[in-house]
């Protein structure tokens, strides 16, 4: 069912939300519907019931089954929150039509998809923006500001370890062909989006890592706050629930990464520790929406044997998504935004691909007897 879009409110960005799964339904649509700088003019999803619910709940004037059905002159931006394996393809189709896109993480699943997005952005003349919100957290911003007093950064440790938090166990999220990977693609994208700027501009020269899947098919390890999948007869998950990696840049700065959907820990915790020539700063908090979280973010600085706690502003869970929406209209209009998201995505997915190649080595190929060149 489709209705004509209402007239745009002057000064507000006309936005459509494509994909009404958990992220589109719970994170983006409610925030966009109440944000003063946006007007939600359409929702897009192949499920008619999902479209009807979204329209009724948020008074959205139009609904479509496919992004190709959106009239290009009725939107200023499309938020793409479809399943992972469709991210790049759907975004590229919109960009080539000249429709700007805000793409939920992971922006792409391969380096080839990153190149496709860059080509589509250039071909259509529309800007691509990326949806990894961790850097918009107030505590992360405070951490970044505190690193200015550390001198040269030598090493960064980042970890997001959940006690129980495998998303949609048995659904598309845990199928490699649809999700692109497990905890490394999901949580690791947020961690890399945070850590790579701290490492500086030098390319990552080496990336090694390991993965494991001890919890991914354990029903007790599921992410209860995301709801329970209702499909029956699903295939077992074939992605990792834990990834560990070590990165080294061309100028010698290093980073350790630990992304974990489930573990034997008591709480879900995110830790970022930056070590420099003039001391270290450490943030302990919890990214995401899990209720099993650290009660209060804590930021400390250690120097010359003394550790002091640094002040942090108090903000509600999920505020980083509101902060990101606050700046989105200005990013949409800024010429410098063109190409930036694709370049960041290319760096991120290159690291992820190298970690996976190391963790899942390709089986050796053996020539048949008598076929070797002499």
The yes-or-no answer to whether 13-133 and 134-317 have a common fold is no
Report whether 129 contacts 153 (CB < 8 A).
no
Residue 293 DSSP code: B
Instruction: Report residue 26: phi and psi, to 5°.
Output: -100, -30
Res. 106: pLDDT tops 50: yes
Length of the chain: 374
What is the C-alpha to C-alpha distance for residues 40 and 196, in angstroms, rounded to an integer?
A: 33
Domain ranges of the chain: 13-133, 134-317
Task: Output the CATH code of domain 134-317.
Answer: 3.30.360.10
Between CA 45 and CA 361 the distance in angstroms is 37
CB 349 within 8 A of CB 110: yes
pLDDT in tens, 169-187: 557 999 999 999 999 999 9
Cβ-proximal residues to 147 (8 Å cutoff; 6+ apart), any chain = 153, 198, 274, 276, 281
Residue percentage of the chain with pLDDT more than 70: 91
pLDDT digits (tens, 9 = 90+) for 251-287: 999 999 999 999 999 999 999 999 999 999 999 999 9
Query: Cα–chain-centroid distance for residue 225?
Result: 18
CB 226 within 8 A of CB 25: no
pLDDT at 236 over 90: no
pTM reported for the whole predicted model: 0.91
CATH superfamily, domain 13-133, is NAD(P)-binding Rossmann-like Domain (3.40.50.720)
Provide the 3-class DSSP secondary structure of residue 16: strand
């Amino acid at each position: 069912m489709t209705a004509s879009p209402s007239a745009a409110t002057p000064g507000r960005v006309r936005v459509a939300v494509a994909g009404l799964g958990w992220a589109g339904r719970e994170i983006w649509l409610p925030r966009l519907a109440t944000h003063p700088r946006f007007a939600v003019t359409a929702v897009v999803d192949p499920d008619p019931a999902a479209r009807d619910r979204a329209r009724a709940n948020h008074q959205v004037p139009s609904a479509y089954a496919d992004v190709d059905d959106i009239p290009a002159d009725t939107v200023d931006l499309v938020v793409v929150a479809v399943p992972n394996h469709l991210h790049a393809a759907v975004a590229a189709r919109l960009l080539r039509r000249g429709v700007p896109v805000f793409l939920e993480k992971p922006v792409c699943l391969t380096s080839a998809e990153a190149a496709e997005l860059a080509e589509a952005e250039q071909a259509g003349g529309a800007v691509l923006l990326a949806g990894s919100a961790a850097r918009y957290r107030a505590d992360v911003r405070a951490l970044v500001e505190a690193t200015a007093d550390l001198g040269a950064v030598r090493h960064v440790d980042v970890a997001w370890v959940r006690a129980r938090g495998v998303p949609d166990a048995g659904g598309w999220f845990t199928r490699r062909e649809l999700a692109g990977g497990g905890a490394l693609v999901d949580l690791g994208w947020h961690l890399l989006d945070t850590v790579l700027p701290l490492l500086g501009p030098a390319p990552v020269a080496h990336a090694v890592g390991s993965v494991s899947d001890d919890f991914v098919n354990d029903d007790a390890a599921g992410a209860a706050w995301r709801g329970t999948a209702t499909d029956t007869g699903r295939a077992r998950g074939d992605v990792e629930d834990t990834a560990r990696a070590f990165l080294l840049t061309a100028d010698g700065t290093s980073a350790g990464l630990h992304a974990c959907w489930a573990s034997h820990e008591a709480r879900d915790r995110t830790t970022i520790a930056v070590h420099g020539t003039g001391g270290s700063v450490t943030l302990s908090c919890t990214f995401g929406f899990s209720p099993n979280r650290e009660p209060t973010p804590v930021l400390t600085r250690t120097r010359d044997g003394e550790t002091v706690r640094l002040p942090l502003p108090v903000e509600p869970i999920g505020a980083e998504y509101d902060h990101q929406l606050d700046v989105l209209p200005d990013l949409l209009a800024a010429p410098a935004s063109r190409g930036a998201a694709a370049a960041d995505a290319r760096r991120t997915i290159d690291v992820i691909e190298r970690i996976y190649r190391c963790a899942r080595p390709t089986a050796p190929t053996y020539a048949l007897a008598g076929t070797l060149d002499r």
